[in-house]
Amino acid sequence: MSSDEMKSMLALWDSIGKDLETEQNPLAGTYFKGGYDAGYFLRWSINKGFVLIPYFDENLITDYSFGKISFDDPSRIIFTPDRDLKGGRSVGKTPREWTAIWNYLVPVENLKEFGEFHAGLGVYNEFNGQCCEFAPNFLSKKIDAKGSQPSYSVPARYAHFIKDPIEGQITFVGRKRKVKNWGYQGTLYGQWMESAILIPVRVDLGRDRRVKKNMLFRLVGEPGFVQYLQVIRPGIRTSMGYVVRDVSFGAKETYHDSDTDLDKPLPPIRIGIKVTTKPLVY
């Protein structure tokens, strides 16, 4: 990007920001999609149009796009680029149609993925294990809202994209044991443990036919990021699996309590604990 292009981009960014001071549309504003190494900033108003700025490694602008806005309603916002992206690291091409769902502004072309992510299914099920924070490119939130974050119900025309998570509860707990070399490998993420504690469980998942071998579940209300439930043998209504805890390299069955800033023993797994594929971000 040349210095002249940079100046032009920043001038338009500031111009839209000035227009937002009197903008009446509650959806218009400045949005941010964060992430471990890539994301984007987006600012738009009805009168001044939009600027979309992908970045990489948190501080390196890789490209920018700008153009006009056509607003039908919160379910259909059309971006018409005067300058399209040329292949930004986090966004390859300017999405043409966007929709507001809950407190996200989502490109319509990503709604299938958005629905799977909301339910913690498909490749996104991998992140129900001991993984990093994960923010796909379709999760942009408004960062200049005055007061509480605006929230919009799922548009009827897109409701079929939104999937429900798989949920259930533990109905049996067996005796735990320690094993060597335990893990799983997914499409986006994988993990391998030198040593793991396995706690056998039976879980009632309500005859949900989507349950598959090696599917991962979060334990609702229990310490996260240090344990998860992995289905080993799916059944018609109840499935067998393990609650998995990583104890590699001398680690103990503990978690860090952020309220007290202390490491505490993990509570025992018990009958009645609820499980879900729903990700923590929701």
In terms of pLDDT, which residue wins out, 216 or 36?
216
Look at 147 and 271; give whichever has higher pLDDT.
271
In the structure, what pLDDT confidence band is assigned to residue 239 with cuts at 50, 70 and 90? very high
> Would the pLDDT of 224 be above 90?
no
Q: pTM for this one? A: 0.87
Provide the CB-side half-sphere exposure for 156 (13 A, CA): 0
What's the CA gap between 167 and 204, in Å, rounded?
Answer: 9
What Cα–Cα distance (Å) separates residue 2 from each residue in 6, 8, 123, 261? 6, 10, 38, 47
Is residue 130 very low, low, confident or very high in pLDDT (cuts 50, 70, 90)? Answer: confident
- By residue count, the chain amounts to 282
Structure tokens at 261: 């800033």
Does position 179 have pLDDT exceeding 60, yes or no?
yes
Phi, psi at 181, each rounded to 5°: 55, 75
> Rounded to whole angstroms, how far apart are CA atoms 30 and 12?
13
Position 134 pLDDT exceeds 80: no
- 47-71 mean pLDDT: 89
d(CA 116, CA 112): 6
- Give 98 or 151, the one with higher predicted confidence: 98
Is residue 38 over pLDDT 90? Answer: no
Q: Is 35 left (phi over 0), alpha (psi -120 to 50) or beta?
A: left
User: What Å distances lie between residue 43 and 23, 86, 98, 167, 251, CA to CA?
Assistant: 12, 19, 13, 37, 45
Average pLDDT, the chain: 91
